[in-house]
Amino acid sequence: MSQTETSRSRVGLRRWLEFIGFFWVAPVFVAAVPSNYLPPIPVLWAAAVACLILLKRDATLDRRTLWGVAGIRPGLAGVLGRFLLFAPLLAGFAWLMEPEWFLRLPRERTGMWAAILILYPIFSVIPQGIVFRTFVCHRYRPLFGDGIRMWLIAGATFGFAHVVMHRWEPVLITVIGGIIFTATLLRRRSGLLADIEHALYGDLAFTLGLGVWIYPGAARQGL
């Protein structure tokens, strides 16, 4: 093996170890620690800032995967079409899994619901987009490529991060969502469009009552 091949092999091994540690070991650790010691949103933003610093230092980064305004117009119809298709399925799933909480937030706490619709995309979707879409798809492209394999890997990575909720249901639905959002990012080269799509489903999930999975104690006290 040549020196160049040896160097590439070492870089690949480091990327594998980094990927496994950051995206598969770390979520298990965070899930094991009480949320009052490691609150999810500050942890998420700390990870997003770290990822953003690494991305900004990389001259090979396609900046469209962070923002990509030009990709919104040609891709928006597809995003909305998929949402119209999958939204009823998510509603049915929410009704089956959490009938007690179905549509309870907008009916009983309208102000809180409206605030969540505005704040969730800003404080949750944006950092998740940086970490689980832009960073994963760029940094680990040498490992997984830029096609369907990456869609599946990034979707599984995004879903597994939701083990911090200590339930299997959010992991399942976010794996599916992660695949969809990653496909949007890579096909349209628009981080913003993928964030818009993510926000649509996230806000719908809160509307349907699935926010109880995130903060079950607070939800039961507040409603």
Place of tokens 């806000």: 203
Task: State residue 28's pLDDT score.
Answer: 95
| Sign of the CA dihedral running 38, 41, 47, 49 | negative
Q: pLDDT averaged over the chain?
A: 92
Q: How confident is the model at residue 37 (pLDDT cuts 50, 70, 90)?
A: confident
Q: Which amino acid is at 72?
A: I
For 15-155, strand residue ranges (E) read: none
Q: What is the mean pLDDT of residues 194-205?
A: 98
- Give pLDDT, residue 7: 54
Residue 85 has pLDDT above 70, yes or no: yes
pLDDT reported for residue 192: 97
Distance in angstroms (rounded) separating the CA atoms of residues 44 and 102:
27
Task: Give the whole-angstrom CA distance, residue 136 versus residue 145.
Answer: 11
pLDDT band for position 38 (cuts 50, 70, 90): confident
**CB 159 within 8 Å of CB 175:** yes
Closest CA to 96 of 221, 223, 209, 218: 209
- Residue 156 belongs to what domain range? 3-222
> Which of 8-17, 25-34, 51-60, 209-218 has the least mean pLDDT?
209-218
Distance separating alpha carbons of residues 137 and 152, to the nearest angstrom: 11
pLDDT greater than 50 at residue 219: no
State the pLDDT confidence band at 218, using cuts at 50, 70 and 90. very low
Q: State the DSSP code for 211.
A: G
Structure tokens that stand for 176 in this block: 């599916």
Close Cβ partners of 174 (under 8 Å, ≥ 6 residues apart): 158, 159, 161, 162
How many domains does the chain contain in total? Answer: 1
Residue 222 has pLDDT above 80, yes or no: no
Cα 207 to Cα 196: distance, rounded to the nearest angstrom: 16
* Confidence grade of residue 45 (pLDDT, cut at 50, 70, 90): very high
CA distances from residue 161 to 102, 199, 218 in whole angstroms, order as listed: 24, 17, 21
Task: Give the pLDDT confidence of 124-152 residue by residue, as tens digits.
Answer: 999 999 999 999 999 999 999 999 999 99
Tokens 């891709």 appear where?
A: 75
Angle of helix 191-208 relative to helix 110-120, nearest 10 degrees, comes to 160
Q: What is the pLDDT of residues 98-134, one digit of tens each?
A: 999 999 999 999 999 999 999 999 999 999 999 999 9
